[in-house]
Every structure is written in structure tokens, then in C-alpha cells.
Amino acid sequence: MTAAVTAHGAHAHADDRSFVRKYVFSTDHKIIGIQFLFLSLFFLLVGGLLAMGIRWQLGFPGQAMPLGGWLPQGVAPGGVVAPKMYISLVTMHGTFMIFFAVMPLLVGVFANYLIPLKIGAPDMAFPRLNMWSFWLMIPSGLLMLSSLFVLGGSSVAGWTVYAPLSNTPDYTGVHLGQQLWCLSIVVFGASSLLGSVNYITTVINLRAPGMTWFRMPLSVWALFITAVLAILAVPVLAGAVIMLFFDQTIGTHFYLPAGGGQPLMWQHLFWFFGHPEVYILILPAMGIASDVIANGARKPIFGYTSMVWAMVAIAFLGFIVWGHHMFQSGMNPTLASAFMVSTIVIAVPSAIKVFNWLGTLWRGSIHFTTPMLNALAFVSMFIIGGLSGIFMASTPVDMYIHGTYFIVAHIHYVLFGGSLFAIFAGIYFWFPKMFGKQLDERLGKVHFALTFVFYNLTFFPMHILGLGGEMRRIYDPTVYDYLRPLQPINVFITINAFLLFLSQLVMLWNVIRTLAWGKKAEMNPWHDCGLEWTVPSPPPHGNFEHTPTVYHGPYEFSVPGAAADFIPVNQPPAQAGEAHR
């Protein structure tokens, strides 16, 4: 039986799977990618709502929140955010956005959906493990969500859960909430591990004939390198979190000075994971943006090989810079200098990438489609976020701005301005392939314009707040005389944050409308070269009728002499003159 299935397993065949096998416990990488999409968009909404709570308190400290009366009196007496709830909001906003929204959006969605399609494989190397990678995210997310509702509240130690604040309930009154945080992250780590093993193995072993390493699209390269980072970094987080969990539950003292433990060890372990995590959150975005920009500019990507090596360099450097998160924690100045230099060196490969994107755009015939607009926003916002990153890399500057809103502005410029715009670009770009329906371009552009404007009005003024001395994670800035003059900026940010949140309803409406009444997508609506555009939208189970053969590089746009302005990667060279189908 098994042998018979294997024999024709490599090709798309009549789909006789039951509903549950097809859509719920599916081993099909495309369904798993779409499952991740809905799950992580849900957590993006949760994280966004928490952010609204934070902004309300900062804009209008001590005033009752709209709808705040619905919250239990314990956390929001009279609808006003209580101090402990505020810190809980900050902690859980970061946690949900990083672990449950942006990381699964980039890796869970795009790695799952794109890798097999783009390299010409019928599915992942281990489809069942892939299914488990999604189904472990459910208990992980539920554990984290439930921590919001247990006695004592959720973790209040920030998303970095620094010890000893996190493992000493006497300081915070949080017992179970922090333990659930730890358990959730361990399960999350297992999910990430199963996914990453799959992505790496699939890319190494399942490429179609002709799909050589340096014919892989940059998105696949980025997702592959990201998976390598995850394999190396996430287990360290798991180990560190397990020790934190033991500190709280079975009386160990790993991070408690009282028993001889070392709180700084937590920071080292956490940031050994945490800095590669930063690149886990940005490399796939770079890959997606590269694909979309080459397509939108109708030009081959400029400096393809240097793009690949720049990502490899970023990934490698990402492992030797973690100390720059700890300049303020007390560090030997010589060591701090080493971390400062290694961090600043990352600007080199990052700049290579930025200039290559600009080089790709140079004299291209740019099509301002919704994905392209979002990808361009990614590049420009990443430049701002990257430049403010150099401020933080420099130890003496960092000493002043590290604990302030400047760093809040920085992380949102790379994580929202960078990653999330690239995610939007990816969703608009591959939505027709995923669902077989074309998102409305006009609504897409409205969504983009509103998001871009309100995003900048929300986060750019935070740089000014930070340089003015406003601390991050502060409950009520108006209690300080020197911060009171800055309060109008906080009100301005809050209003724009609400508008930014509301702008996302345009995208939500666009998705609902398209899924219900949208126009059917063509096989290749963006006239792209990739293998995923040579199969129907959505592709059948097994993806390809016959294993495709690849003859071209990934970005052969506007080749002189070719009939169309793109050459599909699987077009045999003999027919180079007849690109249109």
C-alpha cells in the first residue's frame, strides 16, 4: 500500500481525502500555511488590541478607557488601566506580536506555503511533522492566552522576562501567569523546531531538477537561512526558559542571587536567542521584498549573489552581537566595545541589501501595485529603523537612549515598518495563489496609504519622546515634571495609533469581500517568473502535474529579445521567444 502511494506520490492526483484530512489535520503544506495565516492574524489582532490599551493609558493617563467598564474591577477599576495591568499589557503585547504574530506570519505562513511551490517539490520533506508544527502552536497560543485570565494575572516582566523580576513572585504577585508563559514558549519552541527541520531538509533535498542553489528565489534563500537561525537559537531559549520555570516551580536558584544563581545569565541566554530572533523576524521580510520588488520593477534583482551572501553574513553576525542588548546591565567595557564593533559591522551587509534594492528599482518600469507599494515601504522604513539601530549599537549613545521610547521607536520601525509591511506585501502578492481570488487593488492601496501615514505618525514621534527622556514601560509619564511638556506628543501618538488600528479594518474588509465575491485570479496575475505561478490558483494537492524542470534564474524580467517581459523559470530555452501562454 505504502509503496503504491509513494510511486505516484510525487505528482498531483485526484483528491480523495476526507474533509478533516484536507482542511483540519492536513499534511498539505499549502493548507498548513493558510492555517498559520489565520492563526497569526488572530494573534496580530490580539497584540494590536493590547497596544491600544497601552496607548490609551499613555495618551490619557488615569482616564476611563472606552469599553473599559467591561473589564474586571481588579485589573481596571472604573475602566482605568491599573498599573499592574499596564505592565501586563506591555509584556503580552510584545510576547504575542513577536512569538505569535510576526514570527509565524513570516515563517509559518510563507516558509510553509512558498518553499515547496517555489523549488518544485510536491510537499515538505516531512508532511506529518509539518502538521504537528501547526497543531503545537494551538496549545502554545492557548497557554499564553490563558495566562491573561489566571489569578495573579499574566507575566509582568516584559517580553524579555528578565530574572529575578520574572521568577520572584514576591516582587510582582504573579505566580501562575509567568509559569504559563514559560510552558507556552517551550511548546512554541517545539513547533518552531519541527517547522525548521522541515524547511532546511526540504530546501536541501527536494529541489526540482535544474533548481540549483543559485537559481533559488531570494525568498527561499531567506527562509532557508532563517530556519538555520531558528534551529540554532530557539533551543537555547527553550533551555533558558526551562531553567526559569524550575526556578518558579521546584525551588532551583539558577537566576536567583539568593541561592548563588546569576540573573545576568538569563540575559545572556535570552539574548543569545534574542538577537538571532531579530534576524528571524527580518530576513524573510527581506526575501519577500526582494521577490516583490524585482517583479514590480520588471527587472532582475540587482546583485543577486551579493544579496545571498549578505543574508548569510547577517545571519552569522547575528550570533555574535547579543551583548549590545546588555550595555546597561553592567558589562566589562572591553567586552562592550567588542559587541559594539560586531554590531556596527552588521550595517555593511544590511546596506548592501538596501543599495541592491535601490539598484533594482533604478530605471525599472515600476508598477505601483499594492504588493509593490508595501515592499517599497518596507525598504524605506527599514532604512530608518536600521539607522536608528546604529545609534543603539554605539555604547555611549545607547547608555542614554536604551531604556527610553527611542528604542521603542526603533523596534517598531524594523518590526512594523520592516517586517509587517513586507508581510502585507507578501499577503497581497500571494493571496491570489493561496485562495484563487484577486484582492481588490483599490482597497489595497487605500489600506496601504492609511497604514503608511498613520504608522509614521504613530512611531516617528517616539524618537523625540525618547530623546526627551521618556522611559519605556512607564505607566504615567505625567507624574514627572520634565515629561509633562511632552504629553501633547503622547496624545498625538495615541490618536494616530487608534487610526492605524482602524485602518486595518480596510484590509479585513478587502479579504472578506474578496473571499466572498472577489474576482477569480488568473494563474499568473503578476506576470512573475516563479514556479508557483505555473500551476493553477490555488494549486492542487501535490502541486505539480509532473516534476518541473528549471532552466532559468528566478528573476528573468525584461530580457532583451524575449516576447514577454518575463521568462518563467521552467520555460525550456528553445521556446525562449514565446513566453506568453
Partner 1 sequence: MTAHEAPLAPEATAPHSIGVHTQKLGMWVFLVSEVMFFTALIGSYIILRWGTDAPWPEPRTVLAIPVTALNTFILICSSVSMVKAYAAAVKDDQRGLKRWLLTTVVGGATFVGVQVREYIHLVQKGFLPSSGLFGASFYTMTGFHGFHVTCGVLSMIWVTIRAFRGKYAGGKYQGIETIGLYWHFVDLVWIILFTIVYLI
Contact positions vs partner 1 (CB under 8 A): 1-2, 4-6, 9-10, 16-18, 21, 27-28, 121-123, 125-128, 193, 196-198, 200-201, 204-209, 211-213, 231-236, 238-240, 242-243, 246, 250-254, 259-262, 265, 269, 541-542
Instruction: State how far the Cα of 322 lies from the Cα of 269, in Å rounded to an integer.
Output: 9
CA angle 56, 281, 370 (to 5 degrees): 75
Task: Tell me the closest approach of the beta carbon of residue 309 to partner 1, in angstroms.
Answer: 20
Query: 3-state DSSP call for residue 557?
Result: strand
CA 110 remoteness from chain centre:
10
- Do the Cβ atoms of 483 and 470 come closer than 8 Å? yes
Cell of 52: 491600544
In eight-state DSSP terms, residue 300 is: P
Task: Work out the number of other CB atoms within 10 angstroms of the CB of residue 88.
Answer: 25
Q: Go through the chain and tell me how many residues it has.
A: 581
Task: Tell me the closest approach of the beta carbon of residue 196 to partner 1, in angstroms.
Answer: 7
Task: Tell me the closest approach of the beta carbon of residue 197 to partner 1, in angstroms.
Answer: 5
Task: Work out the number of other CB atoms within 10 angstroms of the CB of residue 500.
Answer: 25
Task: Tell me the closest approach of the beta carbon of residue 164 to partner 1, in angstroms.
Answer: 15
Instruction: State how far the Cα of 530 lies from the Cα of 566, in Å rounded to an integer.
Output: 10
CA-nearest of 348, 345, 357 to 381 is: 357
Give strand pairing partners of 438: 519
Residue 154 has phi, psi (to 5 degrees) of -80, 180
Q: Which is nearer to partner 1, 201 or 380 (CB)?
A: 201
Q: Which is nearer to partner 1, 268 or 513 (CB)?
A: 268
Task: Tell me the closest approach of the beta carbon of residue 191 to partner 1, in angstroms.
Answer: 13
Which amino acid, one-letter code, is at 85? M
Query: 3-state DSSP call for residue 566?
Result: strand
Task: Tell me the closest approach of the beta carbon of residue 543 to partner 1, in angstroms.
Answer: 9
Query: 3-state DSSP call for residue 438?
Result: strand
Task: State the residue for C-alpha cell 509591511.
Answer: 421
Instruction: State how far the Cα of 451 lies from the Cα of 286, in Å rounded to an integer.
Output: 20
Spatial CB neighbours of 74, under 8 Å, sequence gap ≥ 6:
82
Instruction: State how far the Cα of 521 lies from the Cα of 435, in Å rounded to an integer.
Output: 8
Instruction: State how far the Cα of 322 lies from the Cα of 126, in Å rounded to an integer.
Output: 33
Q: Which is nearer to partner 1, 319 or 460 (CB)?
A: 319
Helices (H) and strands (E) in the chain, counts: 20, 2
Task: Work out the number of other CB atoms within 10 angstroms of the CB of residue 442.
Answer: 9
Q: Which helix (H) or strand (E) holds 278?
A: helix 263-297
Task: Tell me the closest approach of the beta carbon of residue 380 to partner 1, in angstroms.
Answer: 35
Q: Which is nearer to partner 1, 81 or 237 (CB)?
A: 237
Q: Which is nearer to partner 1, 59 or 195 (CB)?
A: 195
Instruction: State how far the Cα of 387 lies from the Cα of 344, in Å rounded to an integer.
Output: 10
- Do the Cβ atoms of 375 and 393 come closer than 8 Å? no
- Do the Cβ atoms of 227 and 111 come closer than 8 Å? yes
Q: Which is nearer to partner 1, 208 or 383 (CB)?
A: 208
In eight-state DSSP terms, residue 296 is: H
Cell of 507: 484590509
Q: Which is nearer to partner 1, 43 or 272 (CB)?
A: 272
Which amino acid, one-letter code, is at 360? T
Cell of 19: 474533509
- Do the Cβ atoms of 428 and 434 come closer than 8 Å? no
Q: Which is nearer to partner 1, 319 or 501 (CB)?
A: 319
Q: Which is nearer to partner 1, 103 or 292 (CB)?
A: 103
